[in-house]
Amino acid sequence: MYDAPDMTTTTGARIDDVRRLMGVMTGDEKHGPAATSTLDVLWVLYDQVMRIDPANPDDPDRDRFFLSKGHGPMAYYATLAATGFVDESWLADWGRFDSPLGHHPDRTLVPGVEISSGSLGHGLPLAVGAALGLRAVGRDARVFVLVGDAELDEGSNQEAIELAGFLGLSRLTMVVVDNASASYRDRGHLARRLVREGWRTETVDGRDHGQLRQALSARSDRPSAVVAEVEEKWS
């Protein structure tokens, strides 16, 4: 496991700070469940797992995080603010025409954002390409990508899943936030599907920080998937 920087020690931030910062952003209540479902995964990744430095967001040896589930990015922006990538003052004006914080993240405007996202089905293929590129140049960085369970209905994701398993992309970790909103709402279906394609797969409670940290920090000689189960979207 990497000796990831202790962002809590550096910033003094806590998960409660992220929840408070999320509350500053209003006006997109439609995507509230999409945001809140990712909150704990994002915090554990940024606070306890990833090798990142807000003072040097373009470090070539940094771990990469791709938010494929780019609609409803309030938890993402709050996490970036809590860990020092963006100024908290940006949050109140989010979504305005002159704000860098749009309803979909823009990598050209927001420090620490690796991909512009929102249209589903693109994050995992991009993460596969990034993992391949880093392996080709001999970098040890890991690539994390967060997707939703319904997003895996997209055919582009199936192709990326097959390719990553075939190539043994061991530096790639996909986090699937499973709120039972996919076409086939069967708990356990996603994990079985990924195992068949050659992925190391673990299912955890998506609100349990200890389980998330252990699963996200684990290493393998295969691509890894962490299925983080949260409350059902339509419950």
Q: Which of 182, 220, 213 is nearest to 199 (CA)?
A: 220
> What's the pLDDT score for residue 5?
37
> What's the pLDDT score for residue 31?
61
| Structural domain count, the chain | 1
The answer to whether residue 131 sits within a structural domain is yes
| pLDDT tens per residue across span 112-152 | 999 998 778 899 999 999 999 999 999 999 999 999 998 89
Taking all residues of the chain, what is their mean pLDDT, rounded to a whole number? 89
Task: Inform me whether the pLDDT recorded for 27 exceeds 60.
Answer: yes
Q: How confident is the model at residue 30 (pLDDT cuts 50, 70, 90)?
A: low
The answer to whether residue 234 sits within a structural domain is no
| pLDDT tens per residue across span 156-206 | 999 999 999 999 999 999 999 998 887 766 778 889 999 999 999 999 999
The answer to whether residue 213 sits within a structural domain is yes
pTM over 0.75: yes
C-alpha 208/C-alpha 229 separation (Å) is: 10
Structural domain boundaries enclosing 112: 7-229
The answer to whether residue 135 sits within a structural domain is yes
> What's the pLDDT score for residue 1?
31
The answer to whether residue 164 sits within a structural domain is yes
The answer to whether residue 2 sits within a structural domain is no
Q: Which of 201, 145, 137 is nearest to 172 (CA)?
A: 145
Task: Inform me whether the pLDDT recorded for 35 exceeds 70.
Answer: yes
The answer to whether residue 1 sits within a structural domain is no
The answer to whether residue 144 sits within a structural domain is yes
